Copies of this chain bind each other. A is one copy, B any other.
Amino acid sequence: MPHTARPAPKSFEPRNPDWEATVRGSFARQAVMRLIGAEMGNLAPGHCEIRLPFRADLTQQNGYFHAGITSTIVDSAGGYAGYTLMPVGSDVLTVEFKLNLLAPADGEHLVAEGQVLKTGRNLVITRGEVYAIKNGRATHCATMQQTLMTMYAKKETQ
């Protein structure tokens, strides 16, 4: 296709000067992240990374990470990628996500990456990828498409 058809990758301008503290503070209040042992990694405007070390109590019947656990960290990685771009006093809500499982989540840890594709006044569209790391090799084990809603401070917006 013509070169013109591929727009340059977007860089995003945060609207909240304290975006990083706001996002890390919200993550710290997600009790379920402590329960499963997830840690927030790199954070940038429109991007978020969540890391999850293997634990036997996070597995499904075959001893791999449970798909629900994979979805828990990638939903959060996408949600916080979007939240980095939301205004002061707002909150983020997942409207929906769609997850394809590409390979067994078999590794010493998982890394979930969330990346914003598009921001609008109310909605933010993200993509998420999950990699299983084993003996230093990464396997792409899941891919997600997600829609987020910005919940503005003073008014109900959904």
Chain A interfacial positions (CB closer than 8 Å to B)? 1-2, 4-7, 26-27, 29-32, 34-36, 41-42, 49, 51, 56-62, 66-69, 71-73, 75-76, 91, 93-103, 111, 113, 117-118, 120-123, 125, 127, 131, 133, 136-140, 143, 145, 147, 149, 156-158
Tallying the copies of this chain within the complex gives 4
Chain A interface secondary structure, helix, strand, loop or mixed? Answer: mixed
Bound together, the chains give a CA A156 to CA B156 distance in angstroms of 16
Q: How far is the CB of A50 from chain B (nearest CB, A)?
A: 10
In the complex, the answer to whether B99 meets A96 with C-beta atoms within 8 Å is yes
The residue that A133 contacts in the complex, of B2, B73, B98, B156, with Cβ under 8 A, is B2
